[in-house]
Structure formats: structure tokens, C-alpha cells
């Protein structure tokens, strides 16, 4: 288990709901991944992410899916691609990422509390 954090630590992590608008193969990635374009609503706008989701998802099954992502990490250069947000998921028993899911649709940009 990780060491405890304070409420203030948790509040600094900005986790928002967004909808995947585009998903495409990312052949330059070291591990199989997709390049995603996500809509986080008018306050945050469109952001890009590289996500290792190729085992459970295809680009077609990702487009239109609402996900949670950390939006306040600094951008990370992954080969020729600049990833701006971290899409959240949990590894299955074999270590393949399964996206976190929302129980019902929420507005893009909605913050996790």
C-alpha cells in the first residue's frame, strides 16, 4: 500500500471526465498504444493522450467513450507525440489496462471529487 496522503494532496490532482473523439494506432510507441484526442469541455478543451489500451480496445470501440483523466500533469513527449493528459485505468490479471468507467454520462470537464 502507498503511504498516506493528505486531503490537500488529493485536491491537487485534477481528474476530469472527457470523451474520446479520435483514436488511432501509434506505431512509433515502444509498447503498443493508441493516440487519443479527448474533449474535456469548454474550460479545458481538446487534449491529446498516448494510452496503452490495445489489448482490450480497438480505435472504433474507444471513440465516443467517456473516460477519466488527470489533466494537470505536465505534457510528456513520447517519440513524435506530445501526451497532455493521463487516461486512467486499472490493470487486469495479465497487466493489460482496463479503462475506468463512469456509471452514467456526465458533462465533459466534470471534476472527480
Number of domains the chain contains: 1
Q: Are the C-beta atoms of 75 and 84 separated by less than 8 Å? A: yes
Report the 10 Å Cβ neighbour count for 3.
4
Q: 36 lies in a domain?
A: yes
Residues 69-86 pLDDT 10s: 999 999 999 999 999 999
Q: What is the CATH number of the domain that holds 71?
A: 2.40.50.140
Q: What is the pTM of this model?
A: 0.94
Q: 106 lies in a domain?
A: no
Residues 39-75 pLDDT 10s: 999 999 999 999 999 999 999 999 999 999 999 999 9
Q: 80 lies in a domain?
A: yes
Q: Which domain holds residue 44?
A: 14-99
First to last CA, the chain: 21
Alpha carbon of residue 107 to chain centroid: 16
Amino acid at each position: 500500500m502507498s503511504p498516506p496522503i493528505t486531503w490537500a494532496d488529493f485536491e491537487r490532482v485534477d481528474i476530469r471526465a472527457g470523451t474520446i473523439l479520435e483514436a488511432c494506432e501509434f506505431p512509433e510507441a515502444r509498447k503498443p498504444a493508441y493516440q487519443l484526442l479527448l474533449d474535456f469541455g469548454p474550460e479545458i478543451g481538446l487534449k491529446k493522450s498516448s494510452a496503452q489500451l490495445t489489448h482490450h480496445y480497438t480505435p472504433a470501440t474507444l471513440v465516443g467513450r467517456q473516460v477519466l483523466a488527470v489533466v494537470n500533469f505536465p505534457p510528456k513527449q513520447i517519440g513524435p507525440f506530445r501526451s497532455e493528459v493521463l487516461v486512467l485505468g486499472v490493470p487486469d490479471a495479465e497487466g493489460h489496462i482496463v479503462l475506468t468507467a463512469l456509471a452514467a454520462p456526465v458533462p465533459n470537464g466534470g471534476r472527480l471529487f
